[in-house]
Structure 1
Amino acid sequence: MSAAIDRMLAAIADPKRRRAVELLGQRPRSAGELAGELGLAPPAMSRHLRALKEGGLVEDGHPDFDARVRIYSLKDGATDELKRWLAETEALWSHQLGAFKRHVEGSE
């Protein structure tokens, strides 16, 4: 498993961060908006957003009308490597469990 996947899994290990990802999946939002919806203080939300950015899941930008505001959104293609790893892991487990089933059924 790559370091990028490790960082991503660590970032989504927290339920508040997973909920933030769900909310950002609906549409981009400001940190204040996310904090309000998650019931978090702004400093706590800032820490969660930093973890999501470090995990490669979230990016931020400034709207044209106000450079002081940051708008967070999900990063395009961020989960591609994770999805690939999950598919490979699922195939491995399916193969292993199938072989185990054939072994058990053959030894009866």
Structure 2
Amino acid sequence: MDRFTALADPTRRRIVEMLGRRAMAAGEITAQFAMSAPAISQHLKVLKEAGLVSVEVSGQRRIYRLDPDGLDAFDAWVRQVRGFWNAGLDRLERELAKPDDD
């Protein structure tokens, strides 16, 4: 699953926001939602497959954290799109600044 599809779901976006503050065990993440542990586990699996989170097994616990590589790839795409729009807006501004030939 790609990163955009993974982040299309509000539950997964909320998980990413939570993990942006600190690494968390799967149980801690589940406790923040009114849904079953298996449902949260599925969301975490999607985020992991999309490269947005990583997991570390520590005894019986699974500790999730944001994956910087996945976030860097996402950020690079946003910068590319922002550059496209900035260049386009600059061209528009130049065109609008030209005097009318009427």
Identify the TM-score tier after normalising by the shorter chain: 0.7 to 0.9
Distance 2:38 2:30 in 1: 9
SS at match of 1:51: helix
* Count of residues in Structure 1 that have an aligned counterpart in Structure 2: 100
TM (norm. structure 2) is 0.85
Cα RMSD after superposing both structures: 1.7
SS at match of 1:73: strand
Identify unmatched segments of 5+ residues in structure 2: none
* 2:62 pairs with one of 56, 64, 70: 70
Alignment-derived partner of residue 79 in structure 2: 87
TM (norm. structure 1) is 0.81
Distance 1:46 1:107 in 2: 60
* 2:6 pairs with one of 11, 23, 32: 11
Identify unmatched segments of 5+ residues in structure 1: 1-5
Distance 2:39 2:99 in 1: 57
* Deviating 4+ runs (over 4 angstroms): none
